[in-house]
Every structure is written in C-alpha cells, then in structure tokens.
Amino acid sequence: MEPRSSEGHVAVLGYKLFYRTVGEPTRGTILGLHGGPGATHDYMHPLTDLARSGYRVVLYDQLGCGRSELPKDITLFTVERAVEDVEEVRQALDLGKINLVGSSWGGMLAIAYALKYQKNLKSIVTIGGLANVPLATAEMQRMKSQLPTDVFEVLKKYEELGDYENPEYQKAVEVFYRRHVCRLEEWPKELLYSFEHLSKPVYHTMNGPNEFSIIGNIRYWDVTNQLHRIRVPTLVTGGRYDEVSPKVARSIHRGIRRSKLAIFAKSSHLPLWEERQKFITVVRDFLDKVN
C-alpha cells in the first residue's frame, strides 16, 4: 500500500507556497529543501522513500519557484528571507520539531536555518550542501579547468563575452553537469522537470547564470566560523565527483561537532538519484538513531 499523500498551498509571509506531503509522522517529520536557488521540489522525490519507514516527508517549492507564487520584487530573494519562509512553513503546517534535509543550496539553507532556529530541529542532513560559497566556487573552477581543452575554451570564450545563453556555451555547460551534477546516463523525469522549470528570477538573483558562475547575492556567503554553534545531530553527505566537492563537505563535517560524513563513491551532486538505495539506507539509519 502506498503511503498517503496530499498537496496544496500554504500562506507564507504574504505569498502562497506549494507543498506536498507523503506518509505519516510515526517516527518523525522530514522537511526537504530543494536546491537552485530556483529549482523545484520535484527532483527531491527519492526522499519520499522514507515514508515507508514511518516518516512524514514534506517537500515544498520555495518562494518564486515551481508552483509557488512569484513576487515581482526580486529583493525578496535572499538567504535571510528563505530562512523565515522555512520557519513559516514549519509553523503553518504544524510540523513540530523537524528533521531538515537540504540539497545543494537547500543544504546551505538548512545550515542558515539551524543557526537561527536550532531549537526547532531534531536533525540536519545536507546533500552537496554549502557553508562557504567562495570555497565551493573555487572548487568548481578547479573542476572546470579539468574539462577537455576544447570544452574549457568554449566556456572561457563565452564567459569573457558574457554570452551565457549561446547554444555552444550551453552545450559545454552540459559536459560539466554530466560529470559533476548527475552522472546517470538518463536523467530522471523529476530532475529534468526541475531543470526545465528553473525560476530564472530566483536563480539569476541569488546564484548566477549557471552552477559554476556564482555571481548572485550568495557569492560571499560563508558561515564556516559559526558552524560550531550547531549542536543538533547532523549528517553531511555528498558525492565523490560532486560539483560541491568533498573538500566542502569535509569542511562542514569538521565545523559541526559530532557530525557524520558520508561521501558516495559513484555519485556527483545527486546521490539521492545516482545511488538511491544506498543513499536512502544511510539517511534512514541516521534518522532512526536520532528519532
């Protein structure tokens, strides 16, 4: 029997955000935070596997993303506002203490939330998350320089021109993504949906034109020296080939006392898809000990 699911919109700080919930909170509640910033919740679908283990899994589209309302005021797209949205979603849906699971930018958001609202958390899981954007950017530039010479030269050419939409440039970007975002030969439909419905107002404001050109308002974000303040059980995960490299994951692991670290050997940025069964087992074992 499939776990019970429901969906709808919830009013959050003057805007309607779309959410989906799967399962019953027998063992606890998981709130998932998608990446981007600007993606949709759809690619986080593997987390709903945990509903079969007694967890209520709640996913939502962040402000300006997916099926949620898109404000005209792009100054609302900030880390600080996103943190308040997480808290408002938690309260509005009456979730109680939550296990917060964040992917990529969502992992960064989970860390930012924990630094302000730690008392509302049972645990944190980051998947290719960031605590230091300049470090992550430097690592991505290193990976970019290791691409085939012809690909690297195409990227360099169009970046110097500022022509990020050029089809030749986009083709070269995909080479990077196939190495460091998702290494599956065929990308899952949920992942394709999240990419195809990326909110450009959010992504360009906060991140930039692509994954490795972070020139938006998060570009200097670095809370490495505050990580010691996080005291809730934390699992830091990532992939061996992750665009947010294992070096970044290890820096978070070192900063959060007693945190656990899991690097998936066959994965890049999305071990929840690339090694789905193993990933879910690792996360479930961690959550079961916490809950």
The residues that are catalytic are 104, 242, 269
- Judging by DSSP bridges, how do beta strands 234-239 and 5-12 pair with one another? unpaired
Q: What is the value of pTM for the model shown?
A: 0.97
Q: Is the separation of the CB atoms in 108 and 102 below 8 Å?
A: yes
- Asked whether the beta carbons of 76 and 8 are under 8 A apart, the reply is no
Residues 250-277 have pLDDT tens digits of 999 999 999 999 999 999 999 999 999 9
Range of the domain at 185: 5-290
pLDDT tens figures, 21-70: 999 999 999 999 999 999 999 999 999 999 999 999 999 999 999 999 99
Dihedral sign of CA atoms 96, 278, 130, 216 in order: negative
SS3 call for 17: strand
Number of domains in the chain: 1
40: domain CATH number is: 3.40.50.1820
Q: What is the pLDDT of residue 3?
A: 87
Residue type, 55: Y
Confidence at residue 2, expressed as pLDDT on a 0 to 100 scale: 78
In contact, 234 and 260? CB cutoff 8 Å: yes
